[in-house]
Structure 1
Amino acid sequence: MRFNKLDLNLLVVLNALLTERSISRAAAKIHLSQPATSNALARLRDYFGDELLVSSGRQLLLTSRAESLIEPVREVLMRIDSTIATQPEFDPALETRSFTLLASDFTTTILIPPLLESLFQAAPGVRIHMRSVTYQAGEMLEQGKADFLIAPSQFLSKNHPSSTLFEEEYVCVTWSRHTHVREQLTLNDYLSCGHVTLNLSAGQQGSAFDSWFIDSFDVKRRIEVTAPTMAALPALVIGTDRIATVHRRVAEQASTYLPVTIWEPPLKIPHLVQMLQWHKYKSNDPATTWMRERLTEVAERIWAYTS
C-alpha cells in the first residue's frame, strides 16, 4: 500500500532501523532477512533524500533527518495498531495475548500473585511478562514495548493517561529481640540505630521515601546495610539492632514467618501512591481496558482486605 508515493510497509522497517540503529538487529526484530532490510533502507533513503543511517566505525549513527522522524513514525504505527489492527472485541476466555508490565519488586510481590490467580480463572491463555521499573520505563511505554507502568506519580509520563491503583503506608521493622527498642520506637531510636535500606542498581528508579526523607530533614539515617529489593529488608534486621523502613504489606507478610516487630514510624511519612499508566493510543483497546479493570479490581480487593 502506498501513500504519497511511500510504501507504508517501509514504515515498519524504518521504525526498527531508527530504534535498533543496526541493520542486523532491525532485520531480526521485524523478521526480515538482512538483504531485504538493506534493500528497504535503500528505498527509504531514496524517498527521503537522506542517508538516514551513516557508518561511524562499527556502528550506525542517525542523521538529523532520521532523528526528526523517530517520534512521528512511532506515533503513526502506534495509531495504526490501536485503531486498525486492534480487535473490536476481547474474549478473555479465548484470548492468548501477552501483556508486559513494568513494576517494582514490591508491586510484583504483593499485587501480581493475586492478579495471576484471577487471570488463571478468567483468562487462562493470557500471558504476563514482568519487567523492572527503570529510568527507561517511560520510553518503553512510549515505544509500545510495555503495556502498563505501575509506579509512583512522580515517575509517570505527562503524555499518557493514568489512574490511581492503590496507596501504601510505611512502617518500621526491627528484630523482635532488639536490645533497646521495646515498647515504642522514638525518633531518637530511629536516628541512632543503623538502617537497612534499598540500594537500587544503575538505571532503577530511586526510593520515593528516601527522596522525601532527604528533602524533609536536616539529618540523615545511618545506613549500614543495603539490598536491591524491598521484600528482602525485613529479614536483614534479624539478629541485629538495625531498623528497616518498608511498605506495610511487605512488613506484614514478613511478620508471618520472621521474628520481627512492626512499629509505627516516629515521623509522619507521606503515603506511597502507586499509579497505573498506559499508552494514550491504547485507551480504547478492549484488551487494554479489560486488563486495567482486572488490575484495579485486584488492587482494590487487597486494599480492602488489609486496610
Structure 2
Amino acid sequence: MRFNKLDLNLLVALDALLTECSITRAAERVHLSQSAMSNALGRLRDYFEDELLVQVGRRLEPTPRAEMLREAVRDVLVRIDTSIAAQPQFDCTSSDREFRLCISDYSMEVLLPRVLEIAARQRSTVRFRLQPQVAYPARALERGEADLLVIPKAYVSPDHPTDLLFNDEFVCTVWRESSHARRGLSFDDYAAAGHVVMQPVDTDKPAFESWFVQRFGLSRRIELTTYSFAALPFLVVGTERVATVHSMLARAVEPALPIKLLPLPLPMPPFEQAMQWHKHRSLDPGLLWLRDVMKQAAQELPAGGAGASASI
C-alpha cells in the first residue's frame, strides 16, 4: 500500500531503525534479512531526501529529520495497531497475549502478587513481561514498548490517561539494635542521621520520598544509594543508618529482618501509585481487562493502603 508515493510498509522498517539505531537489530526486530533492511533504509533515504541514520563511531545516529519523524511514525503505527489489528473481544481464559508492564520492585512486591492471584482465579492464560522503569516512562508507551505503566502519580505524563490505584505512607526503617530503635527518632535525629536512599537508574530524577524531602527543605546525609526499593530495609541492618520506606513494603519484610519501624518525623503526604496507558489504547479490550484486575488487586491491599480508584 502506498500513500503519497510512500510504501507504507517502509514505516515499520523506519520505526525499527529509529528504535534500534542498528540495521542488524532492526532487521531482527521485524523479521527481515539484513540486506532487506538495508534496501528499505536506502528507499527511505531516497523518499525523504535525507540520510536519516549516519555512522558515528560504531553506532548509527539519527539525523535531525529522523528525530522529527520518530514520534510521528510511532504514533501512526500505534493507531493502526489499536484501530485495526486489535481484537474486538478479549477472553482471558483463551488468550496467549503478553502484557508488558513497566513497574518498580516496590509494586512487584506489594501489588503484583495480588494481580497474579486474581488472574489465576479467573483461569487466565495471558502472560506478563515485567520491565524496569526508565527515565522517561511515557516514551515506552508511545513507542509501543509497554502496555501499562505502574508509576507514582507525581510522575505520570499529562499526555495519557491515568487511574489512581492506591495510597501508601512512609515509615523510617532502622536496625533493631541501633540507638534510633532504643530512643526513637526526632526530626533533629532524622536530619543528622546517615541515610540509605533509592535512586532510579538512568535519571537524575529522585524517587518520590527524596523529591518531597528536598522540597521540604531538608538536606540529608546520604551514605548509601541503591537502585532497589526492596533492598532498603536490608541495608540498614547492623548500622545507625535510616531508610525511609513505603509502609506496605516495610511491614511485609519486618517479620524476617532485625529491624524496627518508626514514624516519619516530618509531615509527608500519602504516596499515590497510579497506572497509565497510551491514549489510543483506552478501548483495547485486553487492557480494559488488565486495568480492572489491577484495580481489584489494589482494593485487596491491607487497610490504609488501598485507595479508591479514580480517573485522572
Structure-2-length-normalised TM-score: 0.89
Deviates more, 1:39-48 or 1:175-184: 175-184
Distance 1:239 1:26, change over 3 A: closer
Q: Which residue of 1 aligns with 2:295?
A: 296
Distance 1:303 1:164, change over 3 A: farther
Q: Deviation of residue 115 (structure 1)?
A: 1.2
Q: Which residue of 2 aligns with 1:36?
A: 36
Q: Residues 17-71 of structure 1, C-alpha deviation per residue, up to 9 Å, x if partnerless?
A: 2222222121111000011112222332333343333445544343443332222
Distance 1:68 1:223, change over 3 A: closer
Q: Which residue of 2 aligns with 1:230?
A: 229
Q: Residues 127-167 of structure 1, C-alpha deviation per residue, up to 9 Å, x if partnerless?
A: 11111112032211210101111111232222111111111
The letter for the 2-side match of 1:252 is R
In 1, distance between residues paired with 2:63 and 2:254? 57
Q: Which residue of 2 aligns with 1:215?
A: 215
1:17 aligns with 2:17: yes
Q: Residues 202-252 of structure 1, C-alpha deviation per residue, up to 9 Å, x if partnerless?
A: 4475211112112212x4333333333222222232333332211101111
Superposed, 1:73-84 pairs within 5 Å as 73-84=73-84
Deviates more, 1:47-56 or 1:288-297: 47-56
Secondary structure of the 1:302 match is coil
Q: Which residue of 2 aligns with 1:260?
A: 259
The letter for the 1-side match of 2:120 is F
In 2, distance between residues paired with 1:106 and 1:224? 21
Q: CA contact under 8 A between 1:95 and 1:123: conserved in structure 2? A: no
In 2, distance between residues paired with 1:182 and 1:59? 57
Q: Residues 273-295 of structure 1, C-alpha deviation per residue, up to 9 Å, x if partnerless?
A: 11111111111110011111111
1:280 aligns with 2:244: no
Q: CA contact under 8 A between 2:181 and 2:260: conserved in structure 1? A: no
| Structure 1 runs (4+) greater than 6 angstroms displaced | none
- Structure 1 runs not aligned, ≥5 long: none
Distance 1:267 1:56, change over 3 A: closer
Distance 1:113 1:281, change over 3 A: same
Q: Which residue of 1 aligns with 2:110?
A: 110
Q: Deviation of residue 256 (structure 1)?
A: 1.8
Q: Which residue of 2 aligns with 1:147?
A: 147
In 2, distance between residues paired with 1:153 and 1:251? 21
Q: CA contact under 8 A between 2:166 and 2:305: conserved in structure 1? A: no
Distance 1:227 1:45, change over 3 A: closer
Distance 1:113 1:43, change over 3 A: same
Superposed, 1:24-173 pairs within 5 Å as 24-56=24-56, 58-173=58-173
The letter for the 2-side match of 1:155 is Y
Percent of aligned positions with the same letter in both sequences? 44
In 2, distance between residues paired with 1:180 and 1:25? 53
The letter for the 1-side match of 2:36 is A
Q: CA contact under 8 A between 1:133 and 1:205: conserved in structure 2? A: no
Q: Which residue of 1 aligns with 2:309?
A: none
Secondary structure of the 1:174 match is strand
The letter for the 2-side match of 1:37 is M
Superposed, 1:166-245 pairs within 5 Å as 166-179=166-179, 181-182=181-182, 184-203=184-203, 205-217=205-217, 219-245=218-244
In 2, distance between residues paired with 1:116 and 1:12? 33
Deviates more, 1:183-192 or 1:74-83: 183-192
In 1, distance between residues paired with 2:211 and 2:72? 35
Q: CA contact under 8 A between 1:181 and 1:189: conserved in structure 2? A: no
Q: Residues 93-151 of structure 1, C-alpha deviation per residue, up to 9 Å, x if partnerless?
A: 00111111111111111111121122223254211111111203221121010111111
- Structure 2 runs not aligned, ≥5 long: 307-312
How many residue pairs get matched? 306
Distance 1:181 1:65, change over 3 A: closer
In 2, distance between residues paired with 1:69 and 1:180? 56
Deviates more, 1:226-235 or 1:290-299: 226-235
